[in-house]
Amino acid sequence: MTSHAKNTTQKAIAVMTSGGDAPGMNANVRAIVRTIINRNCRAYVVMEGYEGLVKGGEEYIKECNWEFVRGWLSEGGTNIGTARCMEFRERKGRLTACKNLIDAGIDALIVCGGDGSLTGADLFRSEWPSLIKELRDTAVISEEIYNRYKHLNICGTVGSIDNDMSTTDATIGAYSALDRICTAIDYIEATAYSHSRAFVVEVMGRNCGWLALMAGIATSADYIFIPEKPAQTNSWEDQMSEIVTRHRANGKRTTIVIVAEGAIDNNLNPITCDEVHKVLSGRLKLDTRITILGHVQRGGTAVAYDRVLATLQGVEAVDAIIESTPDVPSPLIAVNENKITRKPLIESVALTKSVADAIAAKDFDKAMSLRDVEFKEHLKNFMSINSSDKILPKEITDKGMNIGIINVGAPAGGMNSAVYSTTTYCLSQGHKPFAIHNGFTGLVRHDSVHPLTWKQMIGWQSKGGCEIGTNRHTPKEAGIEDVAALFQKHKLDGLIIVGGFEALVSLQQLQDGRNDYPAFRIPMVLIPATLSNNVPGTEYSLGSDTALNALMHYCDIIKQSASSTRARAFVVEVQGGNSGYLTTLASLACGAQISYVPEEGNISILQLEKDIENLKESFKTAKGRDRFGKLVLKATNASLKTWDSHTLAKVLTEEANGAFDAKAAIPGHVQQGGLPSPIDRTRGTRLAIRAVKFLEEFGKNNVENNTTARELYATKLGESLFNETNENIDSLILTASVLGTRGSHLEFTCINKIYETDSDLIMRMPKNIHWSHIRTIADELVGRERV
């Protein structure tokens, strides 16, 4: 029987989700469908994964329009379904799937799933020439149809909560699952503290311990079990018992042990929660409970990071499909160095599978080597801070440094994480950490320098706010001469500043003050921390992810409220000073219809008119069905002198002529967030430890054995940095640096260079806006037209 395939010159692209569901899959499908339409192609969805391919027909392979995916950003799971399909594993099933795609007129297929799903997709493409030839040879399709659909292009996006795909830094859904885990452990920690209990928490991760490792760092767990670094058969009970007993003896009331579901010992024997429970309750006599989180980790709406990642990857997947040729290997859309990239799909899958093979062969060094560098760094960091309460030998502490920690600027999520990790890592290395309370003003007014202890730090990793206080005043405003005198009094050998633009200015003032004040001739590092993400020299600041999630949740609730009243829009005022970063990312994560940012200048009347017409058309298209609400995001400083949010809302309502009404919504300091997000916690740890290592590298005790430090200081070996001469002060420039995130890499850049090349001091902004391209994507996916 000859197929009646649709024959059109317009390219038809289908998207499907397969394997285990992951938060963010809906955002990925939404972006793919709308980008397909924007690229003047026909968009299809395949329902129920590979099962839908095999069953076929309009019930399972559906053409969809723009409105089909409306509201999907804030929905968990996958709305087009996913299912296991044994038939597709057989050639006969794939032959049926081939015919069904041809009948639907599909030219290309985008698959969002894990390694198993993507392996199936690549196999399907490799077999396609023989499958379609068989359909032609058996007269199921005509020669014309055969020539029309001779090649099938396939592209993969990775949806997996385990973050186990090689060649990409993050998979869709992984950070959402981590967020669920950390929230659950935060709750568990509260009840554990009440009863001084121990909890054994099982998390997902059959062949990958990423979730367990990151959760261990983010919640300050006492012990973790991961497959990449298996426990020693005859000693893990002793090791865990020693650590837990020591933590308890040093003042910790709770015990948290995290077990990945794929946890094993070095003989590949599974380590279960029951075995861990037996040791904690039997040997250590702790009141112990087991919590298996299970599918809670998969559920719920996606966090902001996954919504943004899934959206950007969806757009790239469509462009990759359109640009694909028959001789180009199937691409996998990855994220590397904070950039969306394309990698060969089959190579990525093969590399991922080789990790499991290495573990099965007991080649654990190889398994660890196949993980990215950041994974190994995080594991070392966890082990270091977890041992920070050990009593160190006197000869080590004598070589330690006095390291000051100060917060400058507004509070930001992750500040406590940075202080916690700085302190615990310093203690593990034999240094003496000192908190400078309430910024430079607190230092000058109250000499507020106090040593930090391990017991004092318990619980800080997951606390919001800023426990040591913060202040916006710079050293000059507080009194730079007094600051120098107090640095000298407390014999500080190094300084870590955590904060935003005021912190950047402070570091520059300390660098400039080295000519006059020998006390400033010490290595100093700035860890950027501000919800505005406006610090030059970095693409990421601590607190920006926490703020983005807080704003996203607020907008989700507001949008729900708007949808409950027919034809209503909310104008949400977003913080960020002269930076539109938070506004832009929230716009993408929430699907805001319009966003205004300071970088684009004043809001023009022509653009406002076009946006009002766009809103009117959107409400008209919806026709009141399924409830419908719209968001307009306005950065506070966007047209600050002309428009505030209330005025803008009134103008929108007036000019809508009854098509809709608008209300202002001002989240204010809600945007600073409550508890820091797992991203801010774990990145805070990574940044803090790197900062301490920088101080160690260029500290006075390392001059003798450090060639770089010797060259920088150009002093006699071992000479104190607190020298009284001004010789070679210029050689110290590199020792006052900003620790910036550029892609997935951390880079130290001297403050002088950042001030000279990348800072707009008047606008308090970096000159290079690394996120500007996201605005175009955000507008395209809601159909906003620019004047």
CB 742 within 8 A of CB 538: yes
Mean pLDDT of the chain: 91
pLDDT for the residue numbered 555? 95
CA contacts within 13 A on the Cβ side of 771: 22
**Does the structure show a pLDDT above 70 at 722?**
no
pLDDT for the residue numbered 715? 40
CB 54 within 8 A of CB 97: yes
Structure confidence by residue, pLDDT tens digits, 362-392: 999 999 888 878 899 999 999 999 989 886 5
Q: How many residues does the chain have?
A: 787
pTM for the whole thing?
0.94
> Which amino acid is it at 152?
L
Mean local confidence (pLDDT), 607-618? 93
pLDDT for the residue numbered 627? 52
pLDDT for the residue numbered 720? 41
> What is the share, in percent, of the chain residues with pLDDT greater than 70?
93
| β partners of residue 288 | 198
How confident is residue 6, by pLDDT bands cut at 50, 70 and 90?
Answer: low
- Tokens representing residue 699 in the block: 């500290």
Would you please indicate which residues are annotated as catalytic (active-site) residues? 162
Mean local confidence (pLDDT), 188-215? 96
In DSSP notation, 437-458 reads TTHHHHHHHH--EEE--HHHHT
- Tokens representing residue 458 in the block: 């318990």
- Tokens representing residue 660 in the block: 């809709």
- Tokens representing residue 565 in the block: 């009243």
Mean local confidence (pLDDT), 694-719? 56
Cα 580 to Cα 774: distance, rounded to the nearest angstrom: 11
pLDDT for the residue numbered 626? 54
pLDDT for the residue numbered 702? 61
How confident is residue 620, by pLDDT bands cut at 50, 70 and 90?
Answer: confident
Which has the minimum average pLDDT: 45-49, 152-156, 330-334, 562-566?
A: 562-566
Structure confidence by residue, pLDDT tens digits, 287-344: 999 999 999 999 899 999 999 999 999 999 999 999 998 888 999 999 987 889 999 9
* Chain centroid, CA 370 distance in Å: 21
How confident is residue 619, by pLDDT bands cut at 50, 70 and 90?
Answer: confident
- Tokens representing residue 229 in the block: 């670094």
> Domains along the chain?
12-171+302-356 (3.40.50.450), 174-297 (3.40.50.460), 388-541+676-766 (3.40.50.450), 546-671 (3.40.50.460)
Which helix H or strand E contains 706, and what residues bound it?
none
